[in-house]
């Protein structure tokens, strides 16, 4: 590196430091200690999700796991009893697609943004290692009942690996429920739509499309070749093959251990991705899925689950039904497609997850399905249903106490438990709310 380059390098980095803005407040709320003694929530309406709704029931959990659920069940001695009569108990809600923890403040604080790595093929980057446990969005999400979030990187064609994070813990390691729940692939747009804002011609578009499709295919064939070479390297006469971090990271995907989460909305994208996944023999989950209902037979036949993103969004086409997006979950559900519902991917809005599911109820999705679409179904699609997603004996004690139906906006989450830990329900919003209530208390001379 010559002096000139070095100078520019140093200047560049010092500029970054100057513009880095640290989150404004350091919170006084903190992660909870491990569950010390058994806890019984007594007398509430228990929405097990996987089974029937139990009225006046009791749920007991110990060492972070649910140990008993039922009506009038015996409560072991030494159990802390919490009276939840009139309250509702739900499994913690699961947001299957978000940037929470990777993007704190989008504008004006680039230092808080870790959403997309350089380059277009990044299968090796792992979301969990960059999730900031100090993110103020985490406690806010919990206040909305969201206790598990699949955080994922974005950008490029292959963005990296998503991780299922619990919204509680001192470190990202403690928060990680499951790393590598899916490899994010962003399917290139397939249909040329001329835009007054773009100079792109049909020819440019087709060339780009071809290049992008090739890049995705090449990544997978190269990774497969790498896997073959690595498998062979112990054999007689076969030399050691040097490691490649990108292709190394893709082996579990090729093995079928990790699904590909393909972001695609438009019908031709979806069909192209499905065909590609079949040819590559990888497990595909469709993320986005705006047009998914148009090819529901194929989705069903190929058993491709759908993470349906952002119910509170616009129809893509001027002529489409005003409520098309609202009713798409109902269309997928009635077709028998495995699906779940997520919000708009922004961590700051993660708390509104139940509103998206509720919105689908107003336009035809049965209420119990709406609840499943933000609990059990995302757990299944993310491959973490053995731990979370429903209230069953043996599963994590990751649950909520609310003062009403979680699908109603007016409902408040009163208490959450993550792995049996009693979560500190304070958050930035409540703290500021209380701080300024204090201001007005002082002003009124109380």
Partner 1 sequence: MQRWWYIVAALMIALAGVFAQTAPTIGLRSNTPTVHAFINARIIVAPGKTIPNGILVIRHGVIEAVGENVIIPADARVWDLKGLSLYPGLIEMVSDIGMPKPPQQQGAGGGLGGAQQQRQEPQKGAAHWNAKVLANVAAANEFQPDAKAAEKLRSQGFTLAVATPQRGVFRGTSAVVNLGDGSATDLLVKPFAAHHIALEATGGFLSGYPNSLMGTIALIRQTWYDADWYRKAHEAYNKKPAGQKRPETNASLAVLADALALKQPVMIKATDELNFLRAAKIGKEFGLNLWIFGSGQEYQRLDAIKATNVPVILPLNFPDAPSVDTPEEALNVTLEELRHWDAAPENPGRLHKAGVQIALTSAELKDAGSFRAQVRKAIERGLNADAALAAVTTTPASWLGLSARYGTLEAGKVANFVVTDGDLFVEKTNVREVWIDGKQYEVKVPPTDARGTWEMTISADPDQRGTLTLKGEVERPTGNVTWREKELRLNNVTYAAGRLSFTINTDTIGWKGTMILSGMVSANEIHGVGERPDGAPFTWLASRREPAKAEPDTTKPKEPEMASLPDVFPPGEYGRPRLPAQPQNVLVRNATIWTQGPQGKLEGTDMLVTRGKIARIGKNLTAPADAVIIDATGKHVTPGLIDAHSHTAVSASVNEGGQAITAEVRIADVLDPDDIWIYRQLAGGTTAANILHGSANPIGGQNAVVKWRWGALPDELLIAGAPPGVKFALGENVKQSHFNPGGQPSTRYPRTRMGVEQIIRDRFKAALDYERDWKEWERDKTRIPPRRDLELDAIVEMLKGTRLIHSHCYRQDEILMLIRVAEEFGIKIATFQHVLEGYKVAEAITKHGAGASTFSDWWSFKIEAYDAILGNGPLMHRQGVLVSYNSDNSQLATRMNWEASKAAKFGLSEEEALNFVTLNPAKQLGIADKVGSLEVGKDADFVIWSGNPLSTFSKCEQTWVDGRKYFDVMEDAQMREQIQNERSTLIQKIHTSKRTSSGHQQAGGGAPRFRRPNEISLRSCMEGMYDEHE
Q: Cα angle vertex 124, ends 123, 125, to 5°?
A: 100
Q: What are phi and psi of 185, to 5 degrees?
A: -120, 130
> From the CB of residue 311, how many other CB atoms can be counted at a distance below 10 Å?
26
CB of 51 to partner 1, least distance (A): 23
State in angstroms the smallest separation of the CB of 435 from partner 1: 9
SS3 state at 330: helix
Closest to partner 1 by CB, 191 or 232: 191
Q: Are 60 and 73 in contact (CB under 8 A)?
A: yes
Question: How near is the Cβ of 316 to partner 1 at its closest, in Å?
Answer: 6
**257 conformational bin, left if phi > 0, alpha if psi -120 to 50, beta if neither:** alpha
Per-residue tokens: 358: 């509720």
Quick one: tokens of 399? 């649950």
Which strands form 146-151's sheet, in the order they lie side by side?
Answer: 93-98, 146-151, 158-166, 176-186, 260-264, 284-288, 306-309, 339-342
CA distance 263 to 384: 20
Residue closer to partner 1, measured from CB, 88 or 428: 428
Identify which of residues 80 and 344 has a Cβ nearer to partner 1 in the complex: 344
Q: Are 420 and 35 in contact (CB under 8 A)?
A: yes
Nearest to 233 by CA among 245, 242, 223: 242
Residue 47 C-beta: closest distance to partner 1, Å: 16
Q: Which is nearer to partner 1, 35 or 265 (CB)?
A: 265
- Give least dist CB 413 to partner 1, A: 10
Q: Using the minimum distance from each CB to partner 1, give the nearer residue, 43 or 188.
A: 188
Q: How many residues does the chain have?
A: 446
Q: With respect to partner 1, which residue has the nearer C-beta, 303 or 317?
A: 317
CB of 73 to partner 1, least distance (A): 32
Per-residue b or e along 163-189, where b marks 16 or more CB atoms closer than 10 Å to that residue's CB: bbbbbbbeebeebbbbbbbbbbbbbbb
Residue 322: CB minimum distance to partner 1, A? 4
HEC string of 246-270 equals HHHHHHHHHCCCCCEEEEECCHHHH
CB of 352 to partner 1, least distance (A): 7
Q: How far is CA 322 from the centre of its chain?
A: 27
Q: Which residues contact 427 (CB under 8 A, 6 or more apart)?
A: 27, 29, 136, 139, 140, 142, 143
Nearest distance in Å: CB 125, partner 1: 19
Q: How many CB atoms lie within 10 A of CB 28?
A: 8
**Which two structure tokens, joined as six digits, stand for 293?**
């209902």
Q: Which is nearer to partner 1, 270 or 304 (CB)?
A: 270
Task: State in angstroms the smallest separation of the CB of 267 from partner 1.
Answer: 6
- Would you say 214 or 429 has its CB closer to partner 1? 429
- Choice between 66 and 262, CB closer to partner 1: 262
Q: How far apart are CA 112 and CA 135, in angstroms?
A: 9
Judged by beta carbon, residue 283 or residue 372, the one nearer partner 1 is: 372
User: CA quadruple 397, 401, 407, 410: dihedral positive or negative?
Assistant: negative
Nearer to partner 1, 10 or 15 (CB): 15
Q: How far is the CB of 400 from partner 1 (least distance, A)?
A: 15
């Amino acid at each position: 590196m010559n002096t000139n380059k070095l100078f520019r390098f140093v200047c560049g980095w010092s500029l970054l430091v100057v513009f880095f803005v640290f989150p404004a407040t350091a919170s006084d709320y903190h992660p909870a200690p491990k569950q010390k003694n058994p806890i019984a929530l007594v007398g509430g309406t228990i929405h097990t999700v996987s089974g029937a709704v139990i009225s006046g029931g009791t749920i007991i959990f110990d060492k972070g796991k649910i140990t008993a659920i039922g009506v009038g069940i015996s409560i072991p001695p030494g159990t802390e009893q919490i009276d939840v009569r009139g309250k509702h108990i739900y499994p913690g809600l699961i947001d299957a697609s978000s940037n929470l923890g990777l993007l704190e403040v989008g504008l004006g604080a680039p230092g808080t943004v870790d959403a997309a790595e350089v380059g277009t093929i990044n299968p090796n980057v792992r979301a969990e290692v960059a999730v900031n446990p100090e993110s103020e969005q985490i406690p806010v999400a919990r206040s909305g009942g969201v206790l598990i979030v699949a955080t994922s990187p974005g950008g490029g064609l292959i963005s990296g690996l998503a991780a299922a994070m619990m919204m509680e813990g001192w470190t990202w390691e403690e928060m990680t429920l499951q790393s590598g729940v899916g490899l994010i692939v962003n399917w290139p747009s397939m249909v040329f739509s001329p835009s007054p804002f773009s100079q792109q011609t049909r020819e440019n578009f087709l060339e780009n499309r071809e290049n992008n499709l090739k890049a995705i295919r090449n990544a997978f064939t190269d990774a497969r070749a790498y896997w073959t070479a690595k498998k062979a390297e112990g054999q007689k006469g076969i030399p050691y093959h040097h490691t490649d971090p990108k292709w190394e990271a893709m082996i579990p995907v090729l093995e079928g251990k990790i699904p590909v989460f393909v972001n695609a909305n438009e019908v031709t994208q979806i069909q192209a991705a499905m065909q590609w996944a079949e040819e590559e023999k990888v497990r595909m989950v469709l993320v986005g899925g705006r047009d998914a209902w148009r090819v529901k037979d194929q989705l069903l036949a190929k058993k491709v689950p759908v993470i349906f993103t952002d119910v509170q969004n616009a129809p893509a086409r001027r002529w489409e039904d005003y409520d098309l997006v609202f009713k798409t979950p109902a269309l997928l559900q009635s077709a028998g497609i495995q699906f779940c519902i997520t919000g708009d991917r922004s961590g700051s809005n993660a708390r509104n997850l139940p509103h998206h599911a509720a919105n689908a109820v107003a336009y035809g999705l049965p209420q119990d399905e709406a609840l499943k679409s933000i609990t059990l179904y995302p757990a299944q699609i993310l491959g973490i249903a053995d731990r979370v997603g429903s209230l069953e004996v043996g599963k994590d004690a990751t649950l909520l106490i609310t003062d009403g139906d979680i699908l109603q906006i007016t409902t408040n989450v009163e208490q959450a438990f993550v792995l049996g830990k009693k979560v500190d329900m304070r958050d930035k919003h409540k703290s500021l709310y209380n701080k300024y209530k204090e201001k007005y208390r002082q002003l009124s001379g109380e």
